[in-house]
Structure 1
Amino acid sequence: MKPETRKLLVKAGRALRAAGLLLRDGAPDFAAGRAYYAMFYAAEAALAERDQQFRKHSGVHAAFGEYLAKPGLLDPKLHRWLLNAFDKRILGDYSYEMDVDEAAAGDMIDQAREFVSAVETFLGSD
């Protein structure tokens, strides 16, 4: 595994732990953001291992779908989760309302945990 891939996976794990702490601390909107970033860093890791790097979130989203989910290398639901989590992160970060409740943030954290685990398994099988 490439060093940058490993670093991105470590960062994904840290984001996942932070999401749990933020949820327990009563900040579901910020927990949603960290859950998204756990998925995002894991997606970047999967792409980086294949020498694909992108400057924008939209590039990572599109490439993850095109090169990993669409051909079935990773479950397509992971791509849907990544896109949905991005939308919730935007709400949580930029809305002054509490648009992400505890249940939604908890679901995102569960999805992020499964997402990161799936990417780790995928990269370990290369």
Structure 2
Amino acid sequence: MARYRLERAFETLEEAELLFLNGHVNTFVNRLYYACFYAVSAWLLLNNLSSSKHSGIRAMFHQHLVKPGIVKVEQGLLYDRLFNNRQKADYLDLTNFEAEEVASWLDEAREFVESVNALIAKEKYLED
């Protein structure tokens, strides 16, 4: 399941890029969040941790990876930003993100997913 989640993280980044290129900015924000969510979920599963709520995944990410300094504080802030903005994009009427405002988030999310992937590889969780 963890391998699947990690694959979904990379696939979702590709989806996000296509959405952005086609002007679907709110859905782009959604997919960036989910790419990071899938990566974090993979790491948590490999550490026998899980939650049925997005807020629980977020809390465990901060508790087990950000606070101990395993991932950068900036990545914790990115996850929070994507979490909050995904909520706005999906649930608040009349929310429209501007492409210029969120364009850099793709590279940030890609770096996030790659860093979690590298952490998993370093910890040798998903050896072939």
Q: Which residue of 2 aligns with 1:66?
A: 63
AA of the residue aligned to 1:83:
D
1:77 pairs with 2:68: no
- C-alpha deviation, 1:18, in angstroms: 0.6
Of the three residues 28, 50, 55, the one matched with 1:53 is 50
Select 1:17's aligned residue among 9, 14, 27.
14
Residue 107 (structure 1) aligns with: 104
| SS at structure 1 position matched to 2:71 | coil
Contact 1:91 1:100 in 2 (8 A): no
- 1:32 aligned residue (29, 32, 35): 29
Opposite residue 86 of structure 2, the aligned amino acid is: R
The equivalent of 2:41 in structure 1 is 44
Given the two structures, how large is their TM-score scaled by the length of structure 2? 0.90
The answer as to whether partners of 1:12 and 1:37 remain within 8 angstroms in 2 is yes
- Root-mean-square deviation (CA, aligned residues, Å) is 1.1
Greater shift in the superposed pair: 95-104 or 10-19: 95-104
Unaligned 5+ runs, structure 2 = 124-128
- Structure 1 length normalisation: TM-score? 0.92
Please list every run of 5 or more consecutive structure 1 residues that lacks an aligned counterpart in the other structure: none
Q: Partner of 1:74: helix, strand, or coil? A: coil
